[in-house]
Amino acid sequence: MAVALVGAAFAVGAVIMLSSKKPAPAAVAAAVVLFPSAPSISPDSLLARAAIIYDPTDGRVLFAKDADESLPLASLTKLMTAEVVLGNVSPDTMVTITKEDLAPGGDWDGGLKLGDKVSVGSLLKIGLIASSNDAITAAASAVGEGYVAKMNTEAASMGLSKTRFFNPTGLDIDANTAGAYGSVFDVARLAANFYAHYPQYFELTRNQSVSVERDGEQQLGTATAAPLLTTPGFIAAKTGYTDLAGGNLVALFDVEVGHPLVAVVLGSTRDGRFDDMLALIKAARAADSKTL
């Protein structure tokens, strides 16, 4: 059960902390944490099993519901995959699609075919905007063997103590095992870190669709974050959904110019994740900007 903790704060700012790889705060109470002037949010009003509003400017947790519970991440995993790929491979590197890349369950309606030659940068665009599992797997393969180990090493260096990756997509491994696990607190800091390092890639998710050249042909994919694109102050988002995870979503948005917040919901429903996110954004906007 959530307990109100008004004005709680965590001393180290996420962007500075994560960029410099300093240890992150280890835990957040399974509670509601609101800035003083915000209207009350009942955790029970959210469909999500866990949720958070996080201020990366100074590391404050502004609202939290079971923020330390480790849950299946689904395609939110792709943020870490993209972080590792961009840290190890040039976006101009060309990748030839193999049968190992063509796993079922991708969201991109354009599809990739065996033998296609696509740049890493284009694969990441498809993976982040249209959430293509094939594309993000192919991009990860450019890192070489052991890329999942690199993802876990990176998570450890960020202090994401509740996070563990088993594949680059977050797809469920079987009926009982997810492809990745993490807490909303960890996801919020991962998203802040990715935005600090690669804003041009995260901001691609503001596009309504993605068009990528594949062997001389243009392939079009639809943005999975489409319901958020008209939200005032929207910066970036990543969706996720599997049978084990339910509906997941992380979003960055400005409450005022130059002041982004990160909100995360895990364990909602396919449609409910957007309702939950909009409720969190509304609450953040209702807060007195002087307290942020």
pTM, rounded to two decimals: 0.86
In eight-state DSSP terms, residue 287 is S
Do 250 and 202 form a contact (C-beta atoms < 8 A)?
no
Instruction: Measure CA of the first residue to CA of the last residue in the chain; give whole Å.
Output: 26
In eight-state DSSP terms, residue 141 is H
User: What is the spatial distance between Cα 17 and Cα 10, in angstroms, rounded to a whole number?
Assistant: 12
User: What is the spatial distance between Cα 159 and Cα 231, in angstroms, rounded to a whole number?
Assistant: 31
Quickly count: other Cβ atoms within 10 Å of residue 130's Cβ: 25
Each residue's pLDDT expressed in tens, for the chain with a length of 292 residues: 333 333 333 322 333 233 334 334 445 554 444 555 543 578 889 999 999 999 999 998 999 999 999 999 999 999 999 999 999 999 999 999 998 888 655 555 457 888 989 999 999 999 999 999 999 999 999 999 999 999 999 999 999 999 999 999 999 999 999 999 999 999 999 999 999 999 999 999 999 888 777 666 777 778 899 999 999 999 999 999 999 999 999 999 998 888 899 999 999 999 999 999 999 999 988 874 545 4
Domains in the chain (CATH in brackets) are 4-291 (3.40.710.10)
Listed in sequence order, the residues at least 6 apart from 233 whose beta carbon sits closer than 8 Å to its beta carbon are 253, 254, 255, 285
